[in-house]
Chain A
Amino acid sequence: MPVRIRLKYCGGCNPRYDRTAIAAMLRADFPQADIAETAKDGPDHFVAVICGCPVACASHDDLRGLAGKTILTSEKDYGKLAAAVRSADLS
């Protein structure tokens, strides 16, 4: 079963960077992963909450990742998300 990563965006009223670039980087770095912006049946391994600024106002209380949830507020945060996906023990 491929790694499942659920993406959740903030609403993007005044983003300081291109939030969709995070998804593009994830898809490039983890081509085998199942990366989706919408809910699917069954659990997700990771949840990435991609926020356009430090306010991080996206609603995500209802989202759970078996191996964790990462909240990104700048492009720099991609590194910690990628590291978490790489290091996760999904066995």
Chain B
Amino acid sequence: MAMMTGEQYVESIRKMNIKIFMFGEKISSAADHPILRPSLNSVKATYDLAHKPEYEDLMTVKSHLTGKKINRFAHIHQSTEDLVKKVKMQRLCGQKTAACFQRCVGMDAFNAIFSTTFECDQKHGTRYHKNFVDFVRESQEKDWTVDGAMTDPKGDRGLSPSKQADPDLYLRVVERRKDGIVVRGAKAHQTGICNSHQVIVMPTIAMGPEDRDYAVSFAVPLDTENLFMIIGRQSCDTRKLEGTRLDVGNCEYGGVEALTIFDNVFVPNNRIFLNGETDFSGMLVERFAGYHRQSYGGCKVGVGDVLIGAAALAADYNGAHKASHVKDKIIEMIHLNETLYSSGIACSAEGFRTEAGNYLIDLLLANVCKQNVTRFPYEITRLAEDIAGGLMVTAPSEKDLRHPELGPYIEKYLRGVAAVPTEDRLKILRLIENLTLGTAAVGYRTESMHGAGSPQAQRIMISRQGNVEQKKQLAKAIARIQ
């Protein structure tokens, strides 16, 4: 089975015994809970789109390992064209779900670990690259959704992993055995982990020799013994329990995060990709972050496309679409969104071949891309709220709209232009609410700020990659300074 259908994916998740907790209770499966199901639906879309002829050129690719057609989310990039098509695929998936579709993190982990394990083996004589290629091959063959877990809880940010008051605040090796390792710790903010098949764990920062036990990377199935997750709350999340669709804004798709606990989890030798080589921890982090910062130049743009469309519809339904300032705000939203896309495409087009043979993005441009993502979606949401008007946060509930006595008053007084049903106006306002301050704002706003690294992390990389000395030489030459 090289490519699952969406339904096959759902059934495969349902069959797993993933230990999920939410509101103090154990959840039987992400496939069957109304708060979690939209997250699973977003990933399901990545399987369904791959089977549609009008999308397959982006959604699928030939594996360089097996020669078979695979979902691009499981691909090791073989060219700059692959990098560009990755961003285009992400834009498409953002457009179709208006949510985080979650598989990017695994794809980015695949490509970062592929090249890092190769170079680690070259220096240290380890055999991690073979372990990893075997894992990728199996992932492609079984069409797994693979979560990539990097962010440790981190405790005191002023202290290194080994200096923390509680040594488990960064995930670490607690036992080395002949047949593998035992790890303990946690990974935070894991979007989509509750509906993934496997998780790849990576270290979260560059490390020194004293942090040897923390320089660890591996993969395990998500129903592994002693692994469990606690779902994070989202603004407006329990609207999904009310049995109505309109108030949810996006009733089909979403994304949820979890704090994932590794409480003495065993990892067999053949799934270990880094185990104590601290000098490669920084490389792995830098490459993963680079790929993931590229990703945001696609996924957030796709979600932005939906939000711009929603704002334009709100203007139509309000009868304000001809106002010059409204037109100008829509133009500004498009300008900001396409600027994000520009840097996503640029860092891909300027990619280069690694020693392992896969392609890495231009790290400077990828960090510029993500730095813009920490800002522009906030301005896009501000403009969307401006155009939508206050009703997006004051409209009555769907139950009131359906009420035999209250409904007619809502129909009468909340209508915009006469030709558009009041319910349609409310639907589009709820979608804007969902994206700007509801459940989807987790992905479109705060994830834009902190996902793939907080703003300062990009500024450090921009400083390192910015080539200021060459710029000084340019200025000296023009100014005729010897």
Q: Take A57-B84, A57-B85 as given contacts and tell me if A13 and B92 are in contact as well, using a CB distance cutoff of 8 Å.
A: yes
Given contacts A57-B84, A57-B85, contact A11 B53 (CB under 8 A): no
* B189 contacts partner chain A, Cβ-Cβ < 8 Å: no
Does A32 reach chain B (CB closer than 8 Å)? no
Interface string of B73-112 (1 = CB under 8 A from A): 0000000010011001101100100000000000000000
The answer to whether A11 touches B84 (Cβ under 8 A) is no
| Chain A: CB-nearest residue to B59 | A11
Q: How far is the CA of A9 from the CA of B92 in the complex (A)?
A: 14
Whether A14 pairs with B57 at a CB distance below 8 angstroms is: no
Known: A11-B89, A13-B89, A14-B91. A59 touches B53 (CB 8 A): no
Residues of B close to A14: CB separation below 8 A: 88, 91, 305
Residue of A nearest to B338 (CB): A14
Residues of B within 8 A of A9 (CB): 53-57
Q: A13-B89, A13-B92 are in contact. Are A58 and B53 (CB under 8 A)?
A: no
Q: Chain B 105-128 against A: per-residue CB contact (8 Å), 1 yes, 0 no?
A: 000000000000000000000000
Do A10 and B57 touch (CB < 8 A)? Answer: yes
Contact check: which of A7, A12, A38 meets B55 at CB < 8 Å? A12
> Does B58 count as interface, using CB distance less than 8 angstroms?
yes
With a cutoff of 8 Å between Cβ atoms, the chain A residues found around residue B89 in the complex are 11, 13
Cβ-defined contact, B54 with A13, below 8 A? no
Chain A residues within 8 Å of B81, by CB:
57
Residues of the A chain whose Cβ atoms lie less than 8 Å from the Cβ of B56: 9, 11
Contact, CB under 8 Å: B53 / A13: no
Q: List chain A residues, Cβ under 8 A from B95.
A: 13
Q: Please, which residues of chain A bring their CB within 8 A of the CB of B84?
A: 57
Q: Which B residue sits closest to A50, measured CB to CB?
A: B54
Interface centre among A8, A14, A37, A57 (most CB of B within 10 A): A14
Cα–Cα distance between A10 and B95 once the two chains are bound (Å): 16
| List of A residues within 8 angstroms of B58 by Cβ | 10-13
B91 engages A58 (CB within 8 Å): no
Contact partner of A7 among B53, B59, B88, CB < 8 A? B53
In chain A, what residue has the closest Cβ to B54?
A9
Q: How far, in angstroms, from A39 to B56 measured CA to CA in the complex? A: 13
Instruction: Report chain A residues within 8 Å CB of B57.
Output: 8-11, 57-59
| A69 at the binding interface (Cβ < 8 Å) | no
Q: Provide the bound-state CA to CA distance between A14 and B302, in Å.
A: 9
* Closest chain B CB from A13 CB (angstroms): 4
Bound Cα distance from A13 to B54, whole angstroms: 10
| Complexed CA–CA distance, A37 and B89 (Å) | 19
Q: CB-CB < 8 A to A10: which residues of B?
A: 57-58
Task: With CB as the reference atom, state the residue of chain B lying closest to A51.
Answer: B57
Shortest Cβ gap from B71 to chain A (Å)? 13
* Complex Cα spacing A59 to B58, Å: 9
- Which of B54, B85, B91, B92 is most buried by chain A, counting CB atoms within 10 A of its CB? B54
Q: Hey, what's the 0/1 contact readout for A10-42 against B, CB within 8 Å counting as 1? A: 111110000110000000000000000110000
CA distance A72 to B302 in the complex (A): 24
In the bound complex, do residue B53 and residue A38 qualify as a contact, i.e. CB atoms below 8 Å apart? yes
User: Distance (Å) between the CB of A24 and the closest chain B CB?
Assistant: 12
Report the minimal beta-carbon distance from B352 to chain A, rounded to whole angstroms: 20
Name the one of B54, B91, B302 contacting A20, with C-beta atoms under 8 angstroms. Answer: B54
Residue-wise, chain A 39-67 has the 8 Å CB interface mask toward B (1 for contact) of 00000000000000000011100000000
A55 to chain B, nearest CB (A): 9
Closest to A18 in B: B54
Chain A residues in 8 Å Cβ range of B92: 11-13
With A11-B58, A11-B59, A12-B58: A57-B88 Cβ-Cβ less than 8 Å: yes
The CA-CA distance from A49 to B354 in the complex, in Å, is 32
When chains A and B are docked, how far (Å) is the Cα of A11 from the Cα of B49?
10
Give me 18 other A-B pairs in contact (C-beta within 8 A), A37-B53, A57-B57, A59-B57 excluded: A9-B53, A9-B54, A9-B55, A9-B56, A9-B57, A11-B55, A11-B85, A12-B54, A12-B55, A12-B58, A13-B88, A13-B91, A14-B88, A14-B91, A20-B54, A57-B81, A57-B85, A58-B57
* CB-based closest 8 A-B pairs: A11-B58, A37-B53, A13-B88, A11-B57, A9-B54, A13-B91, A13-B92, A58-B57
> B-contacting residues of A (Cβ < 8 Å)?
7-14, 19-20, 37-38, 57-59
Tell me the B residues contacting A by CB distance below 8 Å: 53-59, 81, 84-85, 88-89, 91-92, 95, 302, 305
CB-defined A-B contacts under 8 Å, sample of 10: A7-B53, A9-B53, A10-B57, A11-B55, A11-B57, A14-B88, A20-B54, A37-B53, A57-B57, A57-B88
